[in-house]
Amino acid sequence: MAIRVFLVDDQSIIRNGLRALLQLEPDLEIVGDTENGQVAIAQITMLQPDVVLMDLRMPVMDGIAATRAIAQQFPAIKILMLTTFDEEKEIAEALRQGASGYLLKDTPSEALAQAIRAAHQGYAQLSPGILQKMMTAASPPSENPAIPPELAELTPREREVLRWIAAGASNREIAQALFISEGTVKNHVTNLLGRLDLRDRTQAAIFAQSALPFLNQ
């Protein structure tokens, strides 16, 4: 069954371009598009897409406000921010409000299609440039602060897995990077969610990004 995708962007040329590119993917179906968050909420209520590509800055209702409303009403729908802006505060706020990822509009079409598939499966997605920007902004100060108790209880391997989750890596990618099995990675992820009292991988990715100064110690 195809993944149902809805597009939200105030520029019709962007929406048309995305539609043309993504329709080339046999497992993706564009079910609708609109120019602002307010109209998007009404249409998404009727169309019930699997994944929403959401612009950040739009008239009437911006992407963050729309993301918050959609995430509250339809928690099963995955929202990927797709924007030209890479400000750390906006990225963090979008993720806090329920976005499953944050991609730049210059993301290659195949990478965008893959990000949609990954988000549909529940994986957090960040453009490489955004991840590097956030990691730089979160680099530890010269005097390392005390590690929070919940992180201090993690094993070195669990911290490694958490860092890879922050990068939006899948279980397979983590397994390949750490030379362990996917089953072992899955067990580590389950343990991490339980120890940190987190609901899913998206929450784990958001937590890990805020905790990078401690994870890098």
Q: Report the first-to-last Cα separation within the chain, whole angstroms.
A: 44
Strand partners, 150: none
More confident residue, 154 or 67: 67
Tokens 């958001």 label which residue? 206
What pLDDT does 201 receive? 79
In this prediction the pTM is 0.64
Q: pLDDT tens across 104-162, in order?
A: 888 888 889 999 998 898 887 777 666 655 555 544 444 555 667 777 788 888 888 98
Question: pLDDT-derived band of residue 166, with 50, 70 and 90 as boundaries?
Answer: confident
More confident residue, 101 or 215: 101
Measured between alpha carbons, how far is 187 from 156 in angstroms, rounded to an integer? 15
Q: Which of 27, 85, 30, 25 is nearest to 52 (CA)?
A: 30
What pLDDT does 177 receive? 83
* Cβ–Cβ under 8 Å, residues 78 and 119: yes
Q: pLDDT tens across 80-94, in order?
A: 998 887 667 787 788
What pLDDT does 130 receive? 64
What pLDDT does 61 receive? 92
